[in-house]
Amino acid sequence: MQEENISNIEKYGKPVLNSLKFREALEQCHHHSSTVGMHSLNVTFVALGIGYMLAKLHIRTDTRALVVGCLCHDLGILGRERFTSSSSMCRLHPIESADLSVFFADPEDRAKVYDICMHHMFPLLAAPPRTKEGWVITVADKVSAVGERMLPPVRRMWEKRNLKVIPDPFILNTAA
């Protein structure tokens, strides 16, 4: 699944990944330990994983729309100093991301990609998604944000104790 997700990201995400906007996204810090670009790649990867699990339940999601929408969902944050407050950034960046996303989306996918970007902040913003793909990103975005904030400090904590990043029960037993 991992390889398939990566090749789908490379295949469907090419126009976004090759854009100047995305290069800028890879430079702008996000969630303290990540960048907007890396976060967007993480969200896309998690969203495709959720899509894969939903497929097992016979719920189909549109992979191409998910890839493009997830890669674009936070492009509206770029140049965050433009925003007068974090609440205005929270409110306005989905609109800017959605407007940008239509340039990258296949005409057939525009409505889904727009929905993914426009409503990804739900429930922080009240308007809920209207598509399955829009619901998938609301979960993938939060999972990725928590991972990006939590994992580096957790990793540092284990490393300080000379333990592996993912605690190995054998190491813990030996230490005890």
Contact call for residues 88 and 34 (beta carbons, < 8 A): no
Residue 141 touches Fe ion, criterion: CB under 5 A: yes
How long a stretch of residues is the chain?
176
| Closer by beta carbon to Fe ion, 74 or else 115 | 74
Of the listed pieces 5-13, 70-78, 80-88, 150-158, which binds Fe ion according to CB under 5 A? 70-78
How far apart (Å, rounded) are the C-alpha atoms in residues 45 and 67?
8
| Closer by beta carbon to Fe ion, 8 or else 42 | 42
- Choose which of 62, 74, 115, 148 interacts with Fe ion (CB under 5 A): 74
Residue 148 touches Fe ion, criterion: CB under 5 A: no
Rounded (10°) CA dihedral 131, 134, 140, 143: -110
How far apart (Å, rounded) are the C-alpha atoms in residues 25 and 28?
5
Of the listed pieces 54-62, 74-82, 105-113, 154-162, which binds Fe ion according to CB under 5 A? 74-82
Which residues of this chain interact with Fe ion, rule CB under 5 A?
Answer: 74, 141
